[in-house]
A and B are shown apart, each in its own frame.
Chain A
Amino acid sequence: MNKLDTAIRPHRAFKPNPFVGLRTAPTGRDSTRLHEATLRTLSQAFTTQLARSQTASLEEQLYESRAACKIRISAIAMHLPPDWRTRFFSQIDNLLDIDSWDFDDRPATAESFATLLRMILFIRGRRPGLGATASGNFIATWTVGRDELTIECKPDDQVRWVLVRDLEGQRESAAGETALPRLLDVLQPYDPQRWFTNGPDQVTP
């Protein structure tokens, strides 16, 4: 038997943490003390690490953010047209540049970027314009004429979308939030392919 269940799993990596997660063996006081001492030590280490990351300069944080994005793009580079990756890198560099970044904004997160990449490969459309929210989420935008589509990529494959369509002179807007696998379905009434197709830099299947 070598069949593999393909039911879609939650988009959350399993991070084994057996040492901290292990329950204290119910054998006596010593094991409890050891367990507590270990937790205390690790907790101090994590606190120190957190303090260090918070004191990292904005420039360092933005560099880390750019680097993480590029590594993630590399992981799916085989699914992108050859020059797509280079242009996308330029967008990332411009977006996460110290000169254009608001000091009060949180650098965009890797979790949001994971959703952005999965969305790009899912819709297989043109390369979007990029932006970021103050809370650290990436934003993808497409504009065709007066029609605009903006999608905020949240962690764990959640997306919030806002669109404006020009329907024979009438401006119509809509917004919503959904799980990524449902995105094309919920956009269907607004003909989403008008934003995604017919571009020179479309991701092809």
Chain B
Amino acid sequence: MSQVPSAPYLRAPLTEAVIQFDVPANTGVIAQQDVVNRLSKYYPHSANLASFEVLIDGTGGTAKLAQQSIGFRLSTDDQADIALVFPNGLATARLAPYQGWESLRDRARANWTEWRRATSLRQVSRIGVRYVNRLDVPIEGEGGSISLARFLEFRPQVPSIGGERPFAGYLQQVTLPTGSALWSVTITSALVTPPPLLKHVSLLLDIDLFRTAEIPGNEDEFWTITDCARSLKNRIFESCITDEARKLFS
């Protein structure tokens, strides 16, 4: 009997991990800038984030483009650690290679401490923990097809519309409550194009866990709650993949 690999995986398929805390109101640019300055020791690079909006006057036949600052993106020299300072919250992200939950959580905690020092908005209205995975599946031979069922438990079920011909792309997303009270999750799976590896098909598995109710103000309780996301997201990930997928990154 072949052994089924289990976490922690040798080559974890995680491409990005994010812990984000939202507050119920917007903080001003000066406070955001203060957060940026406080975080600059760890994140030496910063850039403005801007959004663009096209405004159309339906009667006059004119259109305008409005640009608005929506925060700051901070990064380390190796670009693997990122912080996003928004008017209504702070995100701490880590790109691959992933260093583990403790490392990300500790960085998020240090960043959040600086946010709390710089702003008056401290009550968190939403905790978000997002893990973006990419399964790189080798293609055997030329062309052909793969069965998603070999790799994903979370996959689309499509009625026979095109006969037995395989589908050329897919995107599936569900939002549902988890087994843990007050936590919900949005799971997205899709085809990644182009795949970063030749002769591979890459499958996105994006797990976005969040909680918006009964978030404690007490510091210790708050981090205990946040730590709950660790086992939850692991359980959700494991339930979305198959043993065949586990072999890909073990």
Residues of A at the B interface (CB closer than 8 Å) are 1-14, 19, 30, 33-34, 36-38, 40-42, 44-45, 63, 67, 70-71, 74-79, 82, 85, 89, 117-118, 121-122, 157, 180-181
Contact = CB atoms under 8 A, between A and B. Distances in A.
B145 A4 contact: yes
Given A67-B75, A121-B198, A6 B145 contact: yes
B40 to A, nearest CB: 16
B79 A74 contact: yes
B156 interface: yes
B61 A34 contact: yes
Most buried by B among A6, A12, A42, A82: A6
A86 B64 CA distance: 45
B136 A4 contact: no
Interface of B: 11-15, 45, 52, 54, 56, 58, 61-65, 75, 78-80, 95-97, 134, 136, 139, 143-149, 155-160, 164-168, 170, 191, 193-194, 196-199, 201, 249
A118 to B, nearest CB: 5
A191 B45 CA distance: 44
A121 B96 contact: no
B172 to A, nearest CB: 10
23 contacts: A1-B166, A3-B146, A3-B167, A4-B146, A5-B167, A6-B139, A6-B145, A7-B143, A11-B194, A40-B63, A41-B54, A41-B64, A41-B65, A67-B79, A70-B80, A74-B15, A75-B96, A76-B197, A78-B13, A78-B96, A79-B11, A82-B97, A121-B197
Contact of A37 (B45, B61, B79, B170): B61
Given A41-B63, A75-B95, A118 B145 contact: no
Contact of A85 (B13, B56, B97, B158): B97
Given A2-B147, A2-B155, A77-B97, A38 B56 contact: yes
B65 A42 contact: yes
B20 to A, nearest CB: 19
Contact of B157 (A2, A6, A34, A180): A2
A16 to B, nearest CB: 12
Nearest to A93: B77
A78 B148 contact: no
B167 A4 contact: yes
Report, nearest first, the 7 A-B pairs whose CB atoms are least far apart.
A33-B61, A3-B166, A74-B95, A70-B79, A77-B96, A5-B166, A78-B11
